[in-house]
Amino acid sequence: MSTPHWYPQDPRYAAPSAPGAHGGPELAGFGRRLAARSIDYVLAAIAATAFFVVVVILLMLLTGDSDTSDAEASVWALMLLFGWGVLLFFYDWLYLVAWGRTLGKAMVGIRVVNAADGGRLSQGQAMGRAALFGLPQSLPVLGHLFSLGESMASLGEHRRALHDRACGTVVIRA
């Protein structure tokens, strides 16, 4: 397969980050990607908190009891502790397949595209990218360190994290 003319690794580019060089898009830097991810974390945390509050209110209304058992508290704690990665998976996957970017990426002006042709992501690419980034974060501490470490690959010359390389995607400024 030949490399498309717009692709950032094309040798005709003087520098991978040169905006508009030979009609190619500018790659998103690590700082923008980190800012987008931070915004996404805040938005996901707000959504999770709202979900928690609504469910607790519904349970109180349906059961007529405002006390929580130890078992219920344990379930909520486990969901909070191990459910973060699953939440991030669905958040990323659904936004990427629908719009090619999450809300955080839209706020900082970046988008995820297919590395082969610069087009929209396929369902598999969006799902794979979201799974490789989000699901490891279901493991407290170790999963977060793994995701941070694999994302640090985007500091390199081609600015592609491991989840980008595995799924054939690239993050560009939009």
Q: How confident is the model over 11-28, as pLDDT tens digits?
A: 433 333 333 345 578 999
pTM (two decimals): 0.77
Residues 80-99, mean pLDDT to the nearest whole number: 92
Phi, psi of 111 (to 5 degrees): -150, 155
CA dihedral 94, 98, 100, 103 (to 10 degrees): -60
| CA–CA separation, 95 and 161 (whole Å) | 19
Position 62 scores a pLDDT of 87
